[in-house]
Structure 1
Amino acid sequence: MSSSDDDRSRQYSLTGHAVAVLAASEPVAHEDWRGYTFRQLDAAAGAVKGTAFRAFKRHRAALREGEDYLWLDGVAHPALREALLARGLLYPAVANITLISPDVSARLLSGRGFPGAGAGEGKA
């Protein structure tokens, strides 16, 4: 990653405006789960592709699958993947689906820390 990409990633959580933009958009529903895709988070923040994913990766150790995020195999859920692609909610090259809970999405966008994050990992 270049230093300019890293700078953009660190600046991901600039304002509460991005949180408001995301709150106005519809989360993706899957069974009894609701969450946002990385593409939705990038769009809400006005960030380049991959920014939300990198922020998520920095905090992944403090997050719980099934509670903070839901990972779905794209091969096992082809109808959902195709529907999200058709709605422009997934990047075309993405094989699998990750849905980030509304709370974690807001934390990533606002820069609030995560409980259990190690040193240097508390802010997006």
Structure 2
Amino acid sequence: MNSIDPIHFAGSDTFSLRQLDELNGLSKGTSFRWFKACEAELSEGVDYFHLSADEYSELIDSLRASGLIYTSTRHLLLLTRCGYECMRARSMR
């Protein structure tokens, strides 16, 4: 996980789906599908953060402009290291 710089949010190091796709050499959408497959096992606010476009538009626009998220991102999903590790472990099963 040390080849990408985290996005600091709510006192946590987090990673966008774009960052995780690129880190793992995956096509766009793969990390999202992994997330959806194990979402029930993850805790919002601990393993991931879901940021609505209405409430976090400035942050989302800033991350989009910096290339850290996909340009098509409307609502932002950020995974913590713990959430990413859980998601990745589940995808390996």
User: Under a length normalisation based on structure 1, what TM-score does the superposition of the two structures give?
Assistant: 0.67
Question: Residues of 2 paired with 1:94 and 1:79: CA distance?
Answer: 13
Q: How does 1:2-41 map to 2 (within 5 A)?
A: 22-41=1-20
Change in 2 beyond 3 A, CA 1:56/1:39: same
Gaps of 5+ in 1: 1-21, 113-122
Return the index of the structure with the highest Cα Rg.
Answer: 1
> After TM superposition, what 4+ stretches of structure 1 lie above 2 angstroms from structure 2?
106-109
Cα RMSD, aligned residues only: 1.4
> How many residues of Structure 1 are paired with residues of Structure 2 in the alignment?
91
The secondary structure found in structure 2 opposite 1:78 is helix
Structure richer in strand, relative to its length: 2
What percent of counterpart residues are identical?
A: 30
Gaps of 5+ in 2: none
Aligned position for 2:60: 81
Decide whether the 8 Å contact of 1:34 with 1:99 is kept in 2: no
Q: Give the C-alpha shift of residue 27 in structure 1.
A: 0.9
Question: Residues of 1 paired with 2:8 and 2:53: CA distance?
Answer: 15
Report which stretch shifted further, 55-64 or 87-96.
Answer: 87-96
